[in-house]
Amino acid sequence: MLRIEGLTAGYGRLEVLHDVSLAVPLGIPTVVMGANAAGKTTLCRTITGLIPARGGVVGFDGEDITRLGCAERVRRGVALVPEGRQVFGEMTVRENLRLGAYIHGEPRPADYETVFGLFPILQERENQRAGLMSGGEQQMLALARALMSRPRMLLLDEPSQGLAPKAVEQVGLAVNAIARTGVAILLVEQNLALAQMIARHAVVLENGRCVAEGPADQIMSSSAIQDSYLGRRGN
Ligand SMILES: Nc1ncnc2c1ncn2[C@@H]1O[C@H](COP(=O)(O)OP(=O)(O)OP(=O)(O)O)[C@@H](O)[C@H]1O
Ligand SMILES: [Mg+2]
C-alpha cells in the first residue's frame, strides 16, 4: 500500500531523514517507534507532502506520489492525524468534521454516519465547541476528521500524547476498528502499550535512520530497543 525508498528530508541546512525505507502493506498495521527528535513527525510530513522529499520515493498503491501536493495525496487516500491533534477549538465538532471532507466539497450524510458509528460521543457533542472536550475526546475527533476524507491509509502521529491510559486504550480500540474496515495504518508512537495494541510490524527510527525492523512483538520485547530507542532509561 505504502512503500518508501531511500527517503531524505529536512529543514533548511538540517537533514533529518537519511535514506529511510519502509513498507506498509494493507492489513499489517505498522508502527514507527523512536525517541524524541528521531524524525517521526518529519516522516509523516514528508509522506503527506507537507514538506518536500529531498531524495527517494514515496509510493502509494503502486504509484509514485513523491512530487504530488498535499491535497492530491489526500484525494488519493492518504490522511494524517497530526501530532497534537490540531482540532479547531472554536468550531463545533460537526464543523471540524465537515472540514475533514473538504477534498470532496461537502460531506455526504454517510460520512457522518460512519464516524458517528465509530465514535458515538461525537454525535452527542455534535454542536459543542471542540475546545471544550477532553483530550481523549479531541483525539477521537482528530481521528474522525481524518476519516471524513475517506482515506485508504491513515497516518497517526503520536495519538497517545498527553492522554491518560484509559483514553489511550480507547484510541487503540478505535484505530483497530478502523483497520478492520480495510484502512491501512501507519502509527508513529513512543507509547509501547498503544503500539502493542495496534501494530503487527515495527520499525525503529534513530536519528533519522531505520535501525531495526521486524514483527512488532519481537521488536517491542527487545530490551535493547526499549532502553536505547524509546528513551526509557532514567524515565
Ligand atoms: N519546522 C522545523 N524547522 C526546523 N527544524 C525542525 C522542524 N521540525 C522539526 N525540526 C527538527 O527536526 C528533528 C526531528 O524532529 P521531528 O519533529 O521529526 O521528531 P519526532 O521524532 O517527531 O520527535 P517527537 O517525539 O518530539 O515528536 C529535530 O531535531 C527537530 O528539532
Ligand atoms: Mg513528533
Q: Using one digit for the tens of pLDDT, what is the confidence trace for 8-62? A: 999 999 999 999 999 999 999 999 999 899 999 999 999 999 999 999 999 999 9
Centroid of ligand 2 to alpha carbon of 39 (angstroms): 7
Write out pLDDT tens, residues 182-230: 999 999 999 999 999 999 999 999 999 999 999 999 998 887 666 655 5
182 class by beta-carbon count within 10 Å (0-12 exposed, 13-18 middle, 19+ buried): exposed
pLDDT of residue 233: 46
**Angle, nearest 10°, between helix axes 135-147 and 109-118?**
140
* Burial class (CB within 10 angstroms; exposed 0-12, middle 13-18, buried 19+) of 166: exposed
Note the pLDDT of residue 205. Answer: 94
Q: List, for residues 117-162, the tens digit of each pLDDT value.
A: 999 999 999 999 999 999 999 999 999 999 999 999 999 999 999 9
Say what the pLDDT of residue 148 is: 97
What's the pLDDT score for residue 222?
Answer: 82
**Which pLDDT does position 217 carry in this prediction?**
92
- Distance, in Å, from the CA atom of 59 to the CA atom of 92, rounded to the nearest integer, reads 35
Mutation test residue for ligand 1: of 13, 14, 155, 192, the one with most atoms within 8 Å of CB? 14
**Three cell numbers, residue 120:** 458515538
Q: Is 67 exposed, middle or buried (0-12, 13-18, 19+ CB in 10 A)?
A: exposed
Domains of the chain: 2-228 (3.40.50.300)
Ligand 1 binding pocket (C-beta < 6 A) is 11, 14, 16, 34, 36-42, 83
Contact predicate 92/126, CB 8 Å: yes
Question: What is the Cα–Cα distance from 156 to 172, expressed in whole angstroms?
Answer: 11
C-alpha of residue 17 to centroid of ligand 2, in Å: 13
Q: How far is the CA of 37 from the centre of ligand 1 (A)?
A: 5
Residue with cell 457522518: 112
Ligand closest in space to the Cα of 190: 1
